[in-house]
Structure formats: C-alpha cells, structure tokens
Amino acid sequence: MSSRDDSRALYIIGGQGGLGGQGYSHGTGGCGGAALGPYVNITAQQLIAYNMHATLGAEQAFQLRNIRASQITNHCPPLSRIFQGRRNILDKMHHFFTSKMGIQKIYVLYGLGGAGKTQIALKLINESSSRFSDIFFIDTSTIATTDAGFKNIAAVKNSGDSQQDGLLWLTSRVEEWLLVFDNADDPSINLNDFIPQCNHGNIIITSRNPGLCVYAGSHSLVSDMEDKDAVILLLKSAAQEETICTIQIATEIVKALYYLPLAIVQAGGFISKSQDLDGYLALYTKNQAQLLSEKPAQSHDRYAWTVYTTWQMSVDRLKQPAAIFLRLCSFIYHNGISEEIFSHAANHIFPYGLSKEELQAPLGFLSHFLEPTGEWDSLRFWQVTNELQAYSLISFDVEKKLFSIHPLVHAWSRATTCNPERYKSTMGSILGMAISERPRQNIQLASLVLCPHVELAGQMNTEVALVFSTQYVLILWEAGNNKQTEKLLKEVLEKQKQLLGDNHPHTLFTMGNLANTYSNLGQHRKAKALKVIVLEKQKQFLGENHPHTLFTMGNLANTYSDLGEHQKAKELGVIVLEKQKQLLGDKHRDTLHTMGNLANTYSHLGEHQKAKELNIIVLEKRKWLLGDNHPYTLHTMGDLASTYLRLRECSEAEKLNVIVLEKQKQFLGDNHPHTVITMGNLARTYSDLGEHQKAEKLEVIVLEKQKQRLGDNHPHTLCTMGNLISTYLHLKQHQKAIELGVILLEKQKQLLGDKHLNTLHTMGNLANTYSHLRKHQKAKELNVIMLEKQKQLLGEDHPHTLRTMYNLANRYSDLGEHQKAQELEVIVLEKKKQLLGDNHQHTLLAMGNLASTYSHLGEHKKAKELYDIVLKKQKQRLGDKHLDTLCTMRDLAIIQRRLGNC
C-alpha cells in the first residue's frame, strides 16, 4: 500500500502479526497470515533526524523530514498471501467501525500467540482503507517502540518531534484516522497513556492480554480456526491441490494441530518441502516438539517466530509462581482446572503413612497461596492466574468457574519442562490431596470435573503415594470409568497385599471394590466369587456386624440379583438391612444403599408394591440428607420411576423420568452411565404409553452410547438391545426384531446362561417375533423352554410366568391345538383373578382368550357366558366406544350367530 497524498499516507512503525483462517461464532477463532512492519533502521533514521534538527537549519531539517516520510510511506506489512477465513470477526469489525459516527471507536483483538491477530487487522485495512483518512501502524511491544511510533507520526505530519506531539496531532485532527496498536502484549505497559484522549478516530489493539478489553467498544477472541478454513490454509501453505483425498488427510492433520493457524502454516511449510502430506501426521505424532520448534525456510510472510518460540517469549516474562503453575497444570487435563483443586489440597490433613517431608514439593508450591495463618488466600491465586491470562496462556470460563489451557500450549509446556517427573509427581500429589478433602457425599459431582485429570495421570503413569491412588480410584468409580477403575484397583490391591498383607481391612476393602467393579463391567460371576472370599475374611477378622462386613454382604445380595438369584438376594438383603438399621441407623448412607437394592430385588420378584414403599422411604431420606439434585437422590428417583412403570402407573413414571433425565444431563452430562440408564428407562416408559416412535429414537441413542462406553457384551447394552427388539415388534418391524433378537439371545446364553431372566425375556420377544412372522412352531418351542425355566426360577404365580403361559396358549391356538390352549388359559384366568381381581384388564383379556378357545372347540355356550361377563365389565370400565369393548361386541355377535345356527 502506498500513500495517495501527504494527508492520506499509511505510516507503519515495526510490528509483527500472526496467521490463520476463520474462527468460530461470536467473534472467536484463529487468523491468517503474518508480517513484519518497517525495518528498525527506518525508526533509527527518524531518531537521528530528530537530533539533527537541533543543529541544522530549518531548511535542511525540512528536507530530511521529507526524505524520512518518503521512506516510511512505502513500507507496510503485507497481508499473508494465503490468508484464509475470519469472516465472522471481520464482519463484526466492519460493522463496528461503520456505525455510531462522532465517537472514538476502539476494537481489541486478543488471543494466544500464533492465532493471527495482526493479520486480521491487516485484512480489515486491506478491505476498507478508503474509509480512513490516515492509517498508522505502531509496534507496541515495548515503551521504546511505542514512543518511536508516535514521534514518527509527529515528524511526518510536521507537528513536532516528541511522542506527545504525535498524540496531540491525533487528538486535534477530527478525522476518521485509524491507529493500530500491534503486539500490545506487555501487561506492565499502561496503554491508556498512549490512547488519544478525544471523541474521534478509530483504534485497533492486537494483544495476548484480554485485560485490554477494558478499553474496547467491541472485541473478539482470536482462537482456533474453523475446520474447513484450516484445511484450505494447510493445503495452500503446503502447495497441495484440493482433492477429496488431500482434504481428508488435511482434516486429520489440522485436528491434531487443534486448528491453530501458526501451527498449520508451519506444518504446511514442512509438507511443501517434503511433499509427503500423507506421512506428516505419523511424523508429527512422534516429533511434535521438534516440528513445532522449526521455522520453514520458505514462508508466506515475515513472521519471525515459530509456535513454540512465540509462547516461550511469554513464559520468559512470567514470575516464578506463575511459570511453575503453568508447568504443573500441563500434567493434568487441559480443561476443567479449578481453584478448588489447589485450595482443597492446601487444606489437606496428612493421612496415615505420609509425612510433611514426603509432600515437601506440593506443600512448597501451595505455600505461595497461603496467608501467615495457613488459610487459603484467593487473591494470591488470582494474581498468578491473571498473570497467565495476560498472555493468553490460560483462559477462564466465567460461567463454569474453570480454567483451561490450549491443548498445544499444554503439550508444549509438558514437553519443554525440565525434570518432568518431579512436576508430574508434585501435581499428582496435589490432585490426590484435593480429592481426599472432598466430602464423601459430594464426590460424584466433583468426579465429573476431576475424572479427566485422574485419567490423564493414569495414562502418564504418574507415581503417587498409595493413599492417593485410592483417592484416584474413588473418582474413576463415581465417574463410571469402570475399565480404568479395574486397572488401578488391581495395582492398588497388589501394593496393599505387599505392604499390609492379604487380610488387612484396607486390602479387603479394595478387594470388595474390585468385585463391585466387576459387577459394573457385567462380570457378575467374577464379582460373586470375589465377594464371597471378601465376606468370609471380613467375618473372620472384623466380625459379622462390622460395617464393612455388612456392606460386602449387601453387595453380594446385589450380585445374586444380577445373576437372577432374586430369592437369595432378598433373604440376604433383609438380614443386612435389619443389622444396618440397628448398628448405623435408618438414615446412614450404607443403610439407604441396602434399602434401595432390596427394593430393586422386590421388583424383580414381582413384589412391586413393597418395592414402591421402600423406594419412597429412600427418596425422602436422601432428599432430606443430600438435597433434591444430588446424584444419589436422582438415582433413587429413577428407581421409583421404574417401580411405577412395573405397577402400570406409566404417567407417574414418565413424569419422574423426565425430571431425572433433565437434572442428570445438567449435573452429570449426557454421557454419564446414570444419564444413559435414565434415557433407557424413559424409552421403556414411552413404549408402555404406546409412544413407540419416541421409544425407538431414544433406544437407538442409548444403544450407541452403551456400545461405545461399555462394549457390545455388557448386560446394560444387551438389555437395551432387548428393549429395542420389543419396540421394533410394536412398530411391526419384525425383520429388524428377529435379526437383533437372534444376536442378543446368543450373547445372553454365552454371558448370562440360559436360565437368566434377561435371557428368558429375550427368548420371549423372539418367540413373539416368530409368531408375527407366522413361524408358530419356532415360537411354541421357545415358549415351552421359557415356561419351564420361569416356573423353576420365579414360581407359577409370578407375572412373567403367567405372561409366558398366556403366550404359549396363544401359540397352541395358532397351531390349532385348542385343547392344550384351553388347559393353560383356565390356569391363567384363575391366577389372574387371584392376583389382580376380576375386573383388571389383564384378567378380562385372559377371559376373552378363553372364550375364543371355547368357540374354536365348539363350546359356544361357554364362550357366550364368558363374553357376556367381559363385555359388561368393559362397558363399566372403558365405556361403549373403547376399541376393546367393540372387539368383544363383535366376537359375541359371532358366537350368537353360531348358536342361532345350531
């Protein structure tokens, strides 16, 4: 760009910019291109000229000033040749600078080094230079370069020789000039001293310091690029054509680079030299630090720094506590970093087996944030984090109250740390100390934030004291990460056996937790075997009434239930509950846990009213003790909803499940195991309400989530498959149902055995599917097997047994074996009358089926007598126009015609 006349010149002093493409919505994102401003020797010439002005005559000084002006006006940082995207930020800036005339407008572009803030400013100038009377571009990285910039403005405008003269010219010139403060990164510089104090003019500030937004009429965070723009930027910088293949490869590369513009351009430079786009990702994975530290020989701009050196310049300016904090945080997850991690750790009470000497490193760091009294000082903590925020090395989410570090900065900090094992161990201990100070009843909510940190510690093989490993286990358990819980528990158990012995209470407690983890993984037989061992040892060494012994006994009862041995589960659960009430009280956490499990056992045994009564008690106590929104309260609410569903109180079940699901999504997240279970329960409720389309939609989502998190063979996954089969049946999608049913039945036989209730449930669904496809013989064979097993497991009066008996009678009818059908239907009707009463809809349905069978056997009088009873009761209960009533009227009319023809 060059000037068109003396009053419309582009004056540039120093400055260097970033790179990039288009950002996300709301004015965020990375940026394209980078460039240096005029060479430093120009500024030096100007300063020499100022000094010469004092000794030379006015004419010579005037000539020198003109020479200087001619040198300056022809220098401007060029816009990157591969600038890409950033349309959302640019549109926002254009709108800002073209609205509200008659006031001074200040726009701040802030973000991480290498995001491309300068290039956005240059792009705006490129697109709208004609609307500004003058454009001034000042390197604001130091006070010296800033002063030089204003002196230059004064000199070129013939307004004097000082920085104040330059400011005065801008203040007095009531025009639409544009002043760019580039690289205003140093938080020690008070930029307000350099902002013209007037009501006119336009200013753009580029900075790593979000604190400068205090001056802004508007601002944008310049962060990562949009996916598509990042891909185009990479291919342009790598001199690669856009094809389906190159776009696919580039998509994976920019994802690994976290869409940071400078990193993308550096990668492109390397690829353009090697011409190996396909092999770059594997190379980058192994050599990340080296590749991000090297500047390509050929570049599209004059940006002087690599990704890593631009961040190192910021870190070099940090005080020691801030630098250490950044290094420590690189050994936990890059998101979800909270003040509470450090404040809770500082309040840590030394556990058994640890001394101050062993925790010297973490305590030494935490002492930076303590008052002389030993109390936590939030002000000191915020001074450290504010220092890091001033360079955009760390960000703060105001709503969540959590800090985060850009993933590349996070990886760079870890890779460039001297003595990384010491930092890793120190942060691992701080994390363990923080967890140990959490109240037990609040640990599940805390686990959602802490779990990613613990998972990363596990992936990095962080060495911490045994006591902290047990705290890590607690977080993983509560967050539902069963695979890593199992892995860590095995490690802890091995260490405890070596240090404490096989029979120490801590060893046995860990063994019990491992058994419970097996249960969560669906490995119920392994869980049962281990729980039996633990229980025997606890009885021997702790006594039968010790809380740990009772807790294990309750968990064993739960495992019996998981294995379909519900009667055993009930007997053991009743014993445990009575003892816990006596020893711990009826409001203790363990007592309520056992009560909830016993309620579920009652449900499995068909004793739904008892289950409902127990669940209501547990829910009331948990609301009182923990509050309405606590995960344990919500879990009990979900159990109660399931009980309502079994009692056919579907509307109540739906209301509760909707409430629970919304709260679990809010507090636990969409993918937490408890949330997914509730989603499945709501789907079942929709199905029972006849809203099968809604049920199918939810069940497909649940099944996908469970496959990803739990695997194809987990009992919860298999249960959801079974529910989806039922839904397919209701939707008449019989082929889908039979395909899924065959797979499911085979898996359940292998994993659960052919006598497990879930296996039998699937067998029933598959039988119904065969029946709908008119494969009645196959359906009958499955129903016969089911009935025998259910009689053994549940007894002849259980609702599930009666349902199978009812279905088998229908299969006999379908095959023309009406005598066999009649024998079963008489039994079913009698039992339904006893269990449900004469007027229940299921009783009337059984009565109607028996009437139909009598008709097929030619016993029309018996059929008519039954149909008369059914019709009378249906009219009373359902009304004359209900579909069931109309069907019975039709069947009765047919019987009457047959009797008339006899």
- Which of 258, 286, 313 corresponds to the end of one domain? 313
Flag whether pLDDT at 46 surpasses 70: no
Is the confidence at residue 19, as pLDDT, over 50? no
Q: Domain count of the chain?
A: 5
Q: Is the pLDDT of residue 322 over 50?
A: yes
Q: Is the pLDDT of residue 4 over 90?
A: no
The whole-angstrom separation of Cα 825 and Cα 258 is 67
Q: Same domain, yes or no, for 354 and 267? A: no
Q: Residue 616 pLDDT more than 90? A: yes
Residue type at position 725:
I
- Residue 522: exposure state from Cβ atoms within 10 A (0-12, 13-18, ≥19): buried
Q: Provide the 10 A C-beta neighbour count for residue 370.
A: 16
C-alpha closest to that of 144 among 168, 163, 165: 163
Count of other CB atoms within 10 angstroms of residue 563 = 20
Average pLDDT on 699-709 reads 90
Contact 37, 77 (CB under 8 A): yes
Q: Quick check: is 790 in a domain?
A: no
Nearest partner of 719 among 730, 709, 707, judged by Cα = 707
**Listed range (341-355, 398-412, 496-510, 776-790) with the worst mean pLDDT:** 341-355
What's residue 351's pLDDT?
Answer: 56
- Asked if the model's pLDDT at residue 236 lies above 60, the reply is yes
9 band by pLDDT with thresholds 50, 70 and 90: very low
The mean pLDDT of 811-820, rounded to a whole number, is 90
Is the residue at 211 inside a domain?
Answer: yes
Using alpha carbons, list the distances in angstroms from residue 139 to 97, 145, 252, 666: 22, 6, 36, 46
Average pLDDT, the chain: 82
Verify that 37 and 181 share a domain, yes or no: yes
Residue 403: strand pairing partners: 337, 396
Q: Which tokens sit at 790?
A: 């259910």
Spatial distance between the Cα atoms of 76 and 597, rounded to a whole number of angstroms? 74
Q: What is the mean pLDDT of residues 173-193?
A: 87
18 class by beta-carbon count within 10 Å (0-12 exposed, 13-18 middle, 19+ buried): buried
At 595, which CATH number?
A: 1.25.40.10
Q: Which residues contact 754 (CB under 8 A, 6 or more apart)?
A: 789
- Same domain for 411 and 289, yes or no, is no
The answer to whether residue 172 is domain-embedded is yes
- Burial class of residue 293, CB neighbours in 10 A (0-12, 13-18, 19+): middle
- Whole-number CA gyration radius for the chain: 37
3-state secondary structure of 701: helix
Positive or negative: CA dihedral 56, 59, 64, 69 = positive
418, burial (CB in 10 Å: exposed 0-12, middle 13-18, buried 19+) = exposed
In this structure, the answer to whether residues 129 and 258 fall within a common structural domain is no
Mean pLDDT of 468-494: 87
Q: Which two tokens stand for residue 478?
A: 């509560």
Helix (H) or strand (E) holding 10: strand 10-13
pLDDT at 579: 92
Share of the chain above pLDDT 90, in %: 20
201 & 143 share domain: yes
Same domain, yes or no, for 496 and 597? yes
pTM of the model: 0.64
Mean pLDDT value across residues 797-820: 89
Confidence category of residue 76, pLDDT binned at 50, 70, 90 = low
pLDDT for position 296: 52
> In the structure encoding, which two tokens stand for residue 100, read together?
């509200």
Q: Provide the pLDDT for residue 205.
A: 92
3-state DSSP call for residue 110? strand
Query: Cβ(155)–Cβ(72) under 8 Å?
Result: no
Alpha-helix residue ranges (DSSP H) falling in 731-775: 734-751, 757-772
pLDDT for 238: 78
Mean pLDDT of the 272-290 span: 74
DSSP annotation of 287 reads S
Residue 171: Cβ within 10 Å count: 16
The answer on 22 and 60 residing in a single domain is yes
Domain extent at residue 566: 480-605
Pairs from 830-834 (Cβ < 8 Å, separation ≥ 24): 831/796, 831/797, 831/802, 832/802, 834/797
- Domain final residue pick, 415, 442, 469: 442
Answer yes or no: is 28 within a domain: yes
480 neighbors 498 (Cβ within 8 angstroms): no
- State the CATH number of the domain containing residue 104: 3.40.50.300
Q: How far, in Å, are 620, 650, 679, 681, 887 from residue 629 at the CA level?
A: 13, 23, 17, 19, 47
Q: Is residue 82 located within the same domain as residue 168?
A: yes
**Over the stretch 563-606, which tens digit does the pLDDT of each residue have?**
878 889 999 999 999 999 999 998 898 999 999 999 999 888 88
Residue whose token pair is 């991000």: 292
pLDDT score at 571: 92
| Distance (Å) of CA 178 to CA 130, 132, 136, 195 | 11, 6, 6, 12
What's the pLDDT score for residue 293? 65
For residues 388 and 324, give the distance between their C-alpha atoms in angstroms, rounded to a whole number: 11
Q: Using CA atoms, how far apart are residues 599 and 602, in angstroms rounded to an integer?
A: 5
In tens, the pLDDT along 647-665 reads: 888 888 899 999 999 998 8
pLDDT for 8 equals 33
Among residues 835, 893, 843, the alpha carbon closest in space to that of 870 is found at 843
- Comparing 391 with 377, which gets the higher pLDDT? 377
Indicate the pLDDT class of residue 674, thresholds 50, 70 and 90. confident
Q: Which of 442, 461, 490 is the last residue of a domain?
A: 442
> 864 and 887 share a domain?
yes
Q: d(Cα 99, Cα 104) in Å, to the nearest integer?
A: 11
Give me the DSSP letters along 641-693: HHHHHHTT-HHHHHHHHHHHHHHHHHHT-TTSHHHHHHHHHHHHHHHHTT-HH
- Tokens 């944030």 -> residue: 369
Distance of CA 84 to the CA centre of its chain: 30
Residue 491 lies inside a defined structural domain of this protein: yes
- The full length of the chain comes to 902
Backbone angles phi, psi at 336, to 5 degrees: 70, 35
φ, ψ dihedrals at 555, nearest 5°:
-70, -35
CA distances in angstroms from 3 to 9, 172, 560, listed in the order given:
4, 21, 86
| Amino acid in the structure at residue 103 | I
Question: So what's the pLDDT on residue 10?
Answer: 37
pLDDT (0 to 100) of residue 355: 65
Distance of alpha carbon 532 from its chain centroid, rounded?
37
E-only strand ranges, 174-283: 178-182, 202-207, 218-221
Quick check: is 406 in a domain?
yes
Q: Are 654 and 695 in contact (CB under 8 A)?
A: no
Give the confidence band of 672 by pLDDT, cuts at 50, 70, 90: confident
The residues facing 337 across adjacent strands are 403
Mean pLDDT throughout 816-841? 87
Give residues with Cβ within 8 angstroms of 307, minimum separation 6: 114, 260, 262, 263, 266, 292, 293, 408, 412
Tell whether 855 and 887 lie within a shared domain: yes
Helix (H) or strand (E) holding 73, with range, is helix 58-73
Phi-psi domain of 104 (left: phi exceeds 0; alpha: psi -120 through 50; beta: other): beta
Assess whether 360 and 492 both reside in one domain: no
Tens-digit pLDDT profile for residues 77-121? 767 777 778 888 898 999 888 887 778 889 999 988 878 888 888
Task: Examine residue 474 and state whether it is found in any structural domain, yes or no.
Answer: no
Please work out, in degrees rounded to the nearest 5, the angle formed at the alpha carbon of residue 345 by the alpha carbons of 340 and 346: 100
pLDDT for residue 132: 86
Of all residues in the chain, the percent with pLDDT exceeding 70 is: 87
Clarify whether residues 402 and 367 are in a common domain. yes
Q: List strands edge to edge, sheet with 218-221.
A: 10-13, 135-139, 178-182, 202-207, 105-110, 218-221
How far is Cα 250 from Cα 233, in angstroms, rounded to an integer? 10
| pLDDT of 66 strictly over 60 | no
Reduced to 3 states (helix: H, G, I; strand: E, B; else coil), residue 402 is: strand
Residue range 710-731: average pLDDT? Answer: 86
Q: Is residue 726 part of a domain?
A: no
Give the per-residue pLDDT at 552.
92
Instruction: Give residue-wise pLDDT tens across range 521-550.
Output: 878 889 999 999 999 999 998 899 999 999
Element counts in the chain: helices (H) and strands (E): 40, 8
Residues 6+ apart with CB under 8 A from 562: 519, 524, 527, 715
Residues with Cβ within 8 Å of 881's Cβ and at least 6 positions away in sequence, in order, are none
Q: H/E element holding 858?
A: none
pLDDT exceeds 50 at position 22: no
Report the alpha-carbon angle 235-240-242, nearest 5: 75
More confident of the two residues 279 and 580: 580
